[in-house]
Structure 1
Amino acid sequence: MAEKLHFSLVSPERELFAGLVDQVDAPGAEGDFGVLAGHGPFMTTLKEGPVTVHNDGKTTVYNVRGGFADVTPAGLTVLAEHAVEAV
């Protein structure tokens, strides 16, 4: 079984997601990026676009506008200025 990534997505209103996932793809201001467990640390600003969460063969998409993504040894945290689950 592959190692999981701890991911947290937070907006000013509430925490939209927190848990272990396989991969997260996000819209970085300098280009889209994907994060898996064990990724090297970095921080970047986000542009408007989808944050796609891949977990156990399922995909969930959240639309974000602005904010920051922080990758640490503990996982990925996205602090979005605005975020909603896409329907």
Structure 2
Amino acid sequence: MAGKLSFSLVAPEREVFSGLVDQVDAPGVEGDFGVLPAHAPFMTALREGAVTVIDGAKRRVFEVKGGFADVNAQGLTILAEEATEISA
């Protein structure tokens, strides 16, 4: 896979995750979606569910409760109402 995706997961109290990854899967209100490097820009609301961060063979899973996802030329930012890591 060419390049990495810049990803940031932010909750009101702190930045929960920030880094370069291969893929992020998230729970959109209109269905789950995945974001890879150089993804087309879009913005969507999130429903409660798991955000899975994939980097090579490593996976980290975060539980989010609402919020928004913004994909742009700089990468993916998720602004979550609540976010907690449930597995590393």
TM-score by length of 2: 0.96
Runs of 4+ in 1 over 6 A off after TM superposition: none
1:73: which partner in 2?
A: 73
Q: State the Cα distance separating 1:22 from its structure 2 match.
A: 0.2
1:86: which partner in 2?
A: 86
2:27: which partner in 1?
A: 27
Flag structure 1 segments of 5+ consecutive residues without an equivalent.
Answer: none
The equivalences for 1:1-87 within 5 A come to 2-87=2-87
SS state at 2:9 partner:
strand
The CA deviation string for residues 18-73 of structure 1, in whole angstroms up to 9 with x for no partner, is 11000000000000000000000000000000000000211000000000000001
How many residues of Structure 1 are paired with residues of Structure 2 in the alignment?
Answer: 87
Flag structure 2 segments of 5+ consecutive residues without an equivalent.
Answer: none
Amino acid at match of 1:73: A
Q: State the Cα distance separating 1:2 from its structure 2 match.
A: 2.5
Percent sequence identity over aligned pairs: 67
TM-score by length of 1: 0.97
- Cα RMSD (Å) of the superposition? 0.9
